[in-house]
Every structure is written in C-alpha cells, then in structure tokens.
A and B are shown apart, each in its own frame.
Chain A
Amino acid sequence: GAVVSQHPSRVICKSGTSVKIECRSLDFQATTMFWYRQFPKQSLMLMATSNEGSKATYEQGVEKDKFLINHASLTLSTLTVTSAHPEDSSFYICSARDRQGSDEQYFGPGTRLTVT
C-alpha cells in the first residue's frame, strides 16, 4: 500500500526559531499534499493544500507567512513553522493523494512539535 513518511517524528525547539517538517510519499507520486494540525483531544484541522509546482492554498485563519509550505517535487512537501511560539505546539499531520487522483488520502505518522 501507499506509504507517507514524515520527518522528524518529534521535535522540540525554542521560541523564535524555525522548524521544518518533511512529508514524503515513498511509493507513489503525489500531485497534492495536505497539511493538518491536531490539538490534544481534537480533530484534524486542515491548514493548507499543496499542489506540486504551485503555491499552497491556505485555509482561512492560517497565516501563510508563518506556516511556509513548499511542494517542490511529486514526492516531497515541507512545512516550515517560522518564528515558532509555544502556541504553535501541536501535532502536525501530512497527507498525500496520488497522481491519478485517487479518492483516498494517505496519511503520514505525524510530527509532534513542542515549542519551549
């Protein structure tokens, strides 16, 4: 089956620093990747939709200058949290849809970000 990886799985950083999270589709080409954020005991909230080679589409209320998304290839999307603050601490999950426009999204294992 389709596999999506995320790196790192867990990261701790200091306030004011930036953190990059990678999302890779390992055995398929993903024209579209999605970034979700999950607060403790809450649902997944879509942050942005990322299409290969074009700018990401951000959901309302998500700061595009704070959460930089790059989808440079068909197998890699990155999310950079810039000038991180403690309130950015969360579980970030990426998801990918394959090139053939399959109805299914494949999810990465998530990245736990803690900002101190």
Chain B
Amino acid sequence: AQSVAQPEDQVNVAEGNPLTVKCTYSVSGNPYLFWYVQYPNRGLQFLLKYITGDNLVKGSYGFEAEFNKSQTSFHLKKPSALVSDSALYFCAVRDIRGGNTPLVFGKGTRLSVIA
C-alpha cells in the first residue's frame, strides 16, 4: 500500500529565509511524487512532480524538491520565502505500477511565512 508522511503540522519561517517542508513516502514499486498547494477554501494547485530523471525537480513559484530514493524522501524547498507562500502544502504519491490508482496524500503541512 502507498502512504505519505508529512511529519510537521506547521512550519514557520521568516520572509526571505529558506524554507523546507518535509515528506517521506512508502510504495511497493517506483514512485510518482507530487507537491500541491492549497489556499483557504480553494482546490489544489499543482507545484511540481517527480517521475524519473534528475532528482532535483523545479516547479512553480520558485519551489523545488529533491527526490532521495535511499531516504524515501521528497522534501519541498524554496531558497527565499515570501509571505504569499503561506498556505497548506500537500505531498502525494502514486505507485508507478498502479495503473489507474489515485494519488495518496499526506496530511498536509501549514506554512506560515512571517514578514
């Protein structure tokens, strides 16, 4: 079975500082990995994904994530946080062998960027 763990409910960071939102995953085969962001009362917005290839994936709004197979991690990072980055972030995984299996989400991490 697939699962995703986001160990932090809340991450606080000062504006201009680097930010990291952690994610670890568990799948039987090779993973498809995703990050989404959600603003209040809105749906999910896609940030980035890892399918194959380069372990460092660059996405929208200056975010990036690094796939680490040995640590089964896919942490989201940004070199310099903005107040507008404050939102709820979800990591998701899908088993590459899974055919039509859906994405499985972590519980989410609330990012608060303080001016």
Binding site for B on A (CB under 8 A): 6, 31-32, 34, 41-44, 46, 49, 51, 91, 93, 95, 97, 101, 103-110, 112
Contacts and interface: CB of A to CB of B under 8 A. Distances in A.
Interface of B: 32, 34, 36, 41-46, 49, 51, 90, 94, 96, 99-100, 102-108, 110
Q: Is the interface of A mostly helix, strand, loop or mixed?
A: strand
The 4 A-B residue pairs whose C-beta atoms are closest, nearest first, are A109-B43, A107-B44, A43-B107, A110-B43
Contacts, number: 53
B102 A105 contact: yes
Given A104-B49, A107-B36, A46 B104 contact: yes
B87 to A, nearest CB: 13
A107 B43 contact: yes
With a 10 A CB-CB cut-off, give which of A44, A95, A106, A112 has the most chain B CB atoms. Answer: A44
Contacts of A43: 90, 105-108
A108 B45 CA distance: 9
B90 to A, nearest CB: 7
A32, A106, A107, A112: which has the most chain B beta carbons within 10 Å? A107
A32 B106 contact: no
A95 B105 CA distance: 13
